[in-house]
Amino acid sequence: MKNFVQDGHTIDLTNSGSAVITSGTPVAVGDVLAIAIADIAVGETGTCLTSGVVQLPKLAADDIAQGKTVYFKSGKVQLEATGATLAGKAWQAAGANVAAVLVKLNG
């Protein structure tokens, strides 16, 4: 197939911020949540994961059921969509006061 570009499991991101994006850090790229595969220095371009299941920090107050749509805001996965980026689906349940949840990215 002549028009195939890539499988879509990764996206390249140029770090236009003022600090290094460390490996494993979630980053909103438009409406897509991506996870830095390796450290990305300021001004450099690196590759980020856009699919698969990853463990992410969650808002402690939220009781997230398995399969629920979740969002990313202020460094945490949460249930509230307002002002947040779609993260994907909770791959397992994570009750209130649990610090992290497994998320199927952009699913």
Structural domain spans, the chain: 10-49, 53-105
Token pair for 33: 């949540």
Token pair for 63: 């009781």
Cα distances (angstroms) measured from residue 77 to each of 11, 35, 41:
20, 13, 24
In the predicted structure, residue 1 carries a pLDDT above the cut 90? no
CB contact at 8 A, 20 and 41 = yes
44 Cβ contact partners less than 8 Å away, ≥ 6 residues apart: 14, 15
pTM of the model: 0.92
CB contact at 8 A, 57 and 100 = yes
pLDDT (0 to 100) of residue 107? 85
| pLDDT tens-digit series, residues 15-71 | 999 999 999 999 999 999 999 999 999 999 999 999 999 999 999 999 999 999 999
